[in-house]
Structure 1
Amino acid sequence: MELFERAKKFTEAPGVSGFEEMAFDTVKELCEDFFTEIKTTSTGSVIAYRPCGKPNAKKLLLDAHLDEIGMVVTKICDGGFLKVTNCGGIDTRVLSAGEVYIYGKKTITGVICSKPPHLTTDEDRKKKILLKDMAIDTGYTKEELEEIVSVGTPVGFKVKTERLGKDFATGKSFDDRICGTVILRAIELLKDKELNVDIYALFSGGEETNYVGSRPGAFIVDPDYAVVIDVCNCAIPETPKFRQTNFINKGGVISYSSTTSRKLTQKLIDTAKENGIPHQVIAEAGYTGTNATMIQIARAGIPTVLISIPLKNMHTPAEIGSLKDVENTALAVAALAERLGGEDL
């Protein structure tokens, strides 16, 4: 499957944080050509296994979280309106008049209400609209809606993944399904390679809300090394020059952090350099805001490295990522996998 088509299939699947099982079938379908065993966990994760065929081989874990930001119904109101709260951090500035899917007994479409500009005051325009002040219009009566939807029903963005020019794509859930695509591409690159590590892919649940999938997933696998693949913000025209560190379309961003393994991080950087793979390097003093923090302290501690895909418009229904960054990050991860297995870190 072509890289964009794989990313499109992955990112368009529903799977709001806490409801990752809605994406399980898609993940299994995408994994079936590359892994010998695929299983799910009780914390919303999928674990896929690809052995190297050598006895007592070390284990390499590749993690990308499966869940996406979204909403959950808190109240069904008169007139067929729904009140919701967020699952993960949502940029409410871009929600007005947006379309959503409501995943009840059947999937229905809703529209987030928007106050027309000619009815807003100067004071209104200065305020950020909070999610608690928004409502979703469904077109149903309250009675009809109560037959389909209940409190706790998940709500996700109604968005198609599209190409932007030749190298870019836009859509929902690039955080972090675009990184799940990296894992699939890396495994594809390794398909006929002789390795010294068994590879486990962890498509983990709950990262956007409580990290509920990554630590149990790492406990189950008990790996010798872990590579966490997530997303990061990148420079845009409005970014002051002195703050521009991550750039889209220039490769994955490898993080030096006190919560990740310096040795494994350096090995990934050296591997990328030696193979001429475009990459970027940043320093994060501590907490990375990713599964790397949780996996690093699972069991007795797991040497972990973090590499991220730069995104524009993160945590919106129109995230933008580079297909070149996906390919180059997959190349770096695959090259690292070929070098591991013979030593402790």
Structure 2
Amino acid sequence: MSLEKIDLPLLKVISETSGAPGFEKKVRHLLIDTLKDIVDEFYVDNMGNLITIKKSNKPTAKKFMLAAHMDEIGFMVKHIDDNGYIRFQTLGGFDPKTLTSLRVKVHGKKDLLGVMGCKPIHSMSAAERSKVVTNEEYFIDCGLSKEEVEKHVKVGDSITRWQELEMVGDLINGKSLDDRVCVYALVEIMKTLKDKEVPVDVYGVFTVQEEVGLRGAQVAAHGVSPDYGIALDVTVANDIPSLAPQDYVTSMGKGASIKHFDGGTICDRRMVAHLESVSERNEITSQPEVLPFGGTDTANIQRMPKNGSIAGAISIPMRYLHQTTEMAHPTDVVAMIDLVVNAVLEIEKNDWNY
């Protein structure tokens, strides 16, 4: 059972730690505490990206950047009305229908629990009932007066969804598994590489502000300037009722997905071939991914280094992506860790010429 290979308490705390785009401090400090005695070096750049390094013994070693983003989709306080209701700015992409009755935490001087509210259906006109409620029609109810709310919260404070991570059947279920499940995977990758001889300098990079435009990876990839790169992220698992098999992007439980294409990147064919051969040699379950929309840090890892990098991506299939709760299969998480570790160790087995 793949779940036995997963440090569920660590994944739980990574998932449940708040970190909206631009507010990743708590996640960053958690990761520093977790990895400071594992990696050879680490630093935080001016953007807030955490860069951890496992050094090769080769004096002229090339650089291999692995990246997972720390931020989660969230909100920012933009107004507190006379009745204490909070209006917000979204940070990242939301499907408005998933906000109804969503429990959130408002992170001010003190965290306040709140609930997303909107006009109840009983009070809607027939025309209103036929329309999708927009983000602008929602508000947050903390159950407190304006005076009490303002003791703890001000405009500009962050807000995140609140939910505990738990198992639902055989599957991992919780908030912000995009991309915290891959943050967890990258932690485990750096732990696994700790006592191994690596042929490249491995940069385990935990990026910021991915959900609002891949911003952290732009700075990190420019600063590290890797020769090779892999983004670790989640992707759509469409293996649900009412969708035809040809419309699946990936299926859960069939291994980590090796990305070929998304809305921001055509993955380097050399990296795709390397990952496929590593998967086959080591009997690591994997599946192909062609995502017709969206994007990941891969785009900036590929383009921002001075000479570009040979970049690709590995994804964990996920149901209910960017919804109230997200779901992942332990088998796919373990496959990602195994595939990346072996991709690093076997980097010299591939022919990198065009």
Among 285, 298, 301, the alignment partner of 1:295 is 301
CA contact (8 A) 2:226 2:309 kept: yes
Task: State which drifts further: 62-71 or 276-285.
Answer: 276-285
Query: 1:193 is matched by which residue type in structure 2?
Result: K
Please list every run of 5 or more consecutive structure 1 residues that lacks an aligned counterpart in the other structure.
none
Query: 1:158 is matched by which residue type in structure 2?
Result: W
Among 216, 221, 230, the alignment partner of 2:233 is 230
SS in 1 for 2:186: helix
**Structure-1 residue corresponding to 2:321:** 314
- 1: CA distance, partners of 2:137 / 2:272: 44
**Structure-1 residue corresponding to 2:334:** 327
**Structure-1 residue corresponding to 2:219:** 216
SS in 2 for 1:80: coil
**Structure-1 residue corresponding to 2:273:** 266
CA contact (8 A) 1:272 1:332 kept: yes
- 2: CA distance, partners of 1:92 / 1:62: 32
Among 25, 37, 40, the alignment partner of 1:36 is 40
CA contact (8 A) 1:185 1:327 kept: no
- Alignment coverage as a number of residue pairs: 343
Alignment of structure 1 residues 242-261 onto 2, 5 Å: 242-257=246-261, 259-261=266-268
Among 134, 138, 159, the alignment partner of 2:163 is 159
RMSD of aligned Cα (Å): 1.9
- 1: CA distance, partners of 2:126 / 2:33: 51
State the shift of 1:308 in Å. 0.7
CA contact (8 A) 2:208 2:215 kept: yes
- 1: CA distance, partners of 2:38 / 2:131: 49
**Structure-1 residue corresponding to 2:106:** 102
**Structure-2 residue corresponding to 1:51:** 55
**Structure-1 residue corresponding to 2:205:** 202
Pair 341,288 (structure 1): closer, same or farther in 2 beyond 3 Å: farther
State the shift of 1:175 in Å. 0.8
State the shift of 1:197 in Å. 1.1
CA contact (8 A) 1:11 1:161 kept: yes
State the shift of 1:279 in Å. 0.4
**Structure-2 residue corresponding to 1:336:** 343
**Structure-2 residue corresponding to 1:24:** 28
Among 69, 75, 87, the alignment partner of 2:73 is 69
CA contact (8 A) 1:197 1:341 kept: no
CA contact (8 A) 2:66 2:231 kept: yes
State the shift of 1:32 in Å. 2.8
CA contact (8 A) 1:259 1:296 kept: no
State the shift of 1:288 in Å. 5.5
Among 106, 111, 135, the alignment partner of 1:131 is 135
State the shift of 1:127 in Å. 1.6
Task: State which drifts further: 307-316 or 90-99.
Answer: 90-99
Give me the identity figure in percent: 30
Query: 1:223 is matched by which residue type in structure 2?
Result: P
CA contact (8 A) 2:19 2:72 kept: yes
Query: 2:259 is matched by which residue type in structure 1?
Result: S
SS in 1 for 2:212: coil
SS in 1 for 2:275: helix
**1:270-308 superposed Cα distances (whole Å, 9 cap, x missing partner):** 1101111010013357x7511111111112201101111
Among 190, 204, 209, the alignment partner of 1:187 is 190
State the shift of 1:118 in Å. 3.6
**1:143-195 superposed Cα distances (whole Å, 9 cap, x missing partner):** 232232111111001111111223x1111111111111111222233333222
SS in 2 for 1:60: strand
